[in-house]
């Protein structure tokens, strides 16, 4: 007769074997303690038979399967059958990245972290743009005050100074990093058109005509 042994404490299936014949009665089989002749159930994946209350039941079996701590994502294993990973704060899903934490039964990036990352990215972009604007005007404040810059240099100095103020306003007016509207960098300088030559006024023209007439009359008299 085939019998099945189970753990005395947990009831977990241990092994199967043939029962010994009772030496005092060869028509009977010896059934040792913590053994049963009840048929084992058909096992499902990741299950293990347990003998409980006079019957076999299937309980979880995650032995040999890589699991991960929900606290920090570190890999670990379960070495005893009959335990669900959740009972030990474990999961069979690997942590996608260090940004992820265990939230409501799954790995997810906390909304607070996403918001902070967006804020950090916005401020990094602000610093980059501000550094560019300051580098364009570096060392020119005294020069513009002393009138040492030409028209083009004055234009760019004022344009980059205005750009810095626009950057600050953009940060102050943004309800969130998603709403930031960065200002455009200064447009290229356009030289002013050349001034037209001054036209002679009517009196000057008349004076010139009169002088020519007088010259002509004088020449005629001499002839």
* CA pair distance 87, 206, nearest whole angstrom: 111
- CB-neighbour burial class of residue 31 (10 A; exposed 0-12, middle 13-18, buried 19+): middle
Q: How does strand 55-60 pair with strand 47-52?
A: antiparallel
* CA pair distance 96, 101, nearest whole angstrom: 9
| Element holding 134 (H helix, E strand) | helix 111-137
* CA pair distance 182, 129, nearest whole angstrom: 9
Q: What is the pLDDT along the chain (223 residues), one digit of tens a residue?
A: 899 999 999 999 999 999 888 888 887 889 899 999 999 999 999 999 999 999 999 999 999 999 999 999 999 999 999 999 999 999 999 999 999 999 999 999 999 999 999 999 999 999 999 999 999 999 999 999 999 999 999 999 999 999 999 999 999 999 999 999 999 999 999 998 988 765 545 555 455 556 666 665 665 565 5
| Torsion over CA: 118, 120, 122, 124 (sign) | negative
* CA pair distance 167, 131, nearest whole angstrom: 11
Encoded tokens for 32? 């040792």
């Amino acid at each position: 007769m085939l019998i099945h042994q189970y753990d005395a404490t947990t009831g977990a299936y241990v092994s199967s074997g043939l029962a010994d014949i009772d030496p005092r009665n060869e028509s009977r089989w010896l059934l040792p303690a913590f053994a049963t002749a009840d048929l084992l159930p058909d096992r499902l994946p990741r299950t293990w038979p347990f003998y409980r209350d006079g019957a076999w039941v299937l309980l979880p079996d995650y032995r040999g399967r890589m699991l991960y701590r929900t606290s920090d994502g570190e890999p670990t294993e379960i070495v005893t059958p009959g335990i669900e990973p959740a009972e030990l704060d474990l999961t069979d899903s690997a942590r996608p990245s260090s940004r992820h934490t265990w939230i409501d039964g799954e790995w997810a990036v906390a909304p607070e972290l996403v918001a902070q990352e967006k804020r950090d990215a916005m401020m990094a972009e602000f610093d980059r743009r501000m550094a560019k604007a300051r580098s364009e005007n570096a060392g020119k404040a005294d020069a513009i005050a002393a009138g040492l810059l030409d028209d083009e240099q004055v234009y760019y100095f004022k344009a980059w100074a205005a750009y810095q103020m626009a950057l600050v306003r953009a940060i102050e007016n943004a309800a969130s990093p998603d709403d930031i509207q960065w200002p455009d960098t200064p447009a290229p300088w356009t030289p002013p058109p050349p001034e037209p030559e001054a036209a002679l006024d009517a009196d000057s023209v008349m004076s010139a005509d009169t002088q020519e007439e007088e010259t002509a009359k004088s020449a005629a008299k001499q002839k």
